[in-house]
Amino acid sequence: MLKSSAMLRTSIRLRSKIRLLVIACLLLGSPPVRHPLPAGASTPKPQTGAIPNPLASWNEGAARASIIDFVKRVTTQGDAAYIPPAERIAVFDNDGTLWAEQPVYFQLAFALDRVKALAPSHPEWKNTQPFKGVLDGDMKSVAASGEKGLMQIVAATHVGNTTAEFEDIVRRWIASARHPTTKRLYTEMVYQPMLEVLAYLRANQFKTYIVSGGGVEFMRPWVERVYGIPPEQVVGSRAKVKYEVRPTGPVLLRLADVDLVDDKAGKPVGIHQVIGRRPIAAFGNSDGDFEMLEWTTSATGPRLGVIVHHTDAAREWAYDRESHIGTLARGLDEAPKRGWIVVDMQKDWKAIYPYDR
């Protein structure tokens, strides 16, 4: 577990451009304080079937109306905008779009916890950066180790094992690890209004996909339970894997080579590799999602592009242009002319998390 939120709030500004598997993300300086909410809520169940009151946690307004209008048009037979069910592909970024991403990407919290869990087998880490920094709770040293240090953390925590072993590690972590400030399970920090969008689209015969810069193998073990999105509908960054036949049977070994960075211009590539169709709706929250929205909405025919704008410092976090996580500048600038909907979390959402309701 993360030792303390103070550890993460160390005011370090690291402008490295490392994007390796998105674990190697930037440590945030002084994130706004978030008041923890009472514990006790359970993991949300994804909704299915017909939705009597769609987007119930959305306030009336242009954002909600635009989403509903789009869905009605593309699903109404005879409407010029009608799109057959097979082509109703909707793609969602994960970090900052379906679940929170502050004060650090949750997958980085996972990596730091992994360092601590593995430390007993690596006595040398006590005296070697960046591991020493992680173990001492000295994030300044970790950040000072730069891109190389973060890559060492990724290499030590994410690869060299089999896909089955890694899946098991993720499952165990996600079931118990808690967020440093809310003290909630990370899977409780999903956005209730977005769960409703997922359910609403699926009730209208959309296939919902995650297309995230995060590691695909970090997401697949839990997204079906939490979002109702099966493993085969998850696109993410990935390491190369190698088929190897061992005496106990075949395995897929996770190698230290990056196979896809599913971020920015990598998102349309990941979409093409895995889905092979151009989506008709895309939801993101940062400039890492820009190309995904652009690719989706610049095709002919009715298209929906949505940006979740983090505007709620009281209930969640407020950040955009200057943030090191989830930087959103170009998206804000170009949304109007591109016809993208910008969701104002503070104004458009009645609740943020399922446990807020």
Strands 304-309 and 341-344: parallel
Q: Give least dist CB 274 to a copy of itself, A.
A: 5
Q: How far is the CB of 168 from a copy of itself (least distance, A)?
A: 14
Contact positions with a copy of itself (CB under 8 A) in 283-322: 291, 294-295, 298-299
Q: How far is the CB of 52 from a copy of itself (least distance, A)?
A: 25
Closer by beta carbon to a copy of itself, 88 or else 184: 88
Pick the piece of the chain touching a copy of itself (CB under 8 A) from 244-252, 304-312, 313-321, 328-336. 244-252
Structure tokens belonging to residue 51: 């939705």
Task: State the minimum distance, in angstroms, from the CB of residue 284 to a copy of itself.
Answer: 15
- Comparing CA positions, the residue from 187, 225, 293 lying closest to residue 45 is 225
CA 326 to the chain's CA centroid:
10
Tokens of 116: 């601590």
Please count the residues of the chain. Answer: 357
Query: Of 54 and 268, which CB lies nearer to a copy of itself in the complex structure?
Result: 268
Helix (H, G, I), strand (E, B) or coil at 4: coil
- Residue of 117, 203, 269, 351 that binds a copy of itself (CB under 8 A): 269
The site map against a copy of itself for 190-209 (x = CB under 8 A) is -----------------x--
Q: Which of 17, 114, 146, 93 is nearest to 270 (CA)?
A: 93
Which secondary structure element, helix H or strand E, spans residue 252, and what is its range?
strand 249-260
One-letter amino acid of 185: L
Least Å distance between CB 296 and a copy of itself? 10
β-pair partners for 241: 254
State the number of CA atoms in the 13 A half-sphere of 276 facing the CB: 3
Interface residue with a copy of itself among 16, 129, 163, 327 (CB under 8 A) is 163
List 216, 261, 306, 341, residue binding a copy of itself (CB under 8 A)? 216
Which parts of the chain are beta strand (E)?
89-92, 207-215, 234-246, 249-260, 281-284, 304-309, 341-344
101, 26, 18, 22: which is closest to 260 by C-alpha? 22
> Which stretch in 19-27, 95-103, 213-221, 347-355 sits in contact with a copy of itself by CB under 8 A?
213-221
80 binds a copy of itself (CB under 8 A): no
How far apart are the C-alpha atoms of 134 and 124, rounded to whole Å? 13
Among 86, 120, 121, 247, binds a copy of itself (CB under 8 A): 86
Q: Which positions lie near a copy of itself, rule CB under 8 A?
A: 86, 89, 163, 207, 216-217, 220, 224, 230-232, 234, 238, 241-243, 245, 249-250, 252, 259, 265-266, 268-269, 272-277, 291, 294-295, 298-299
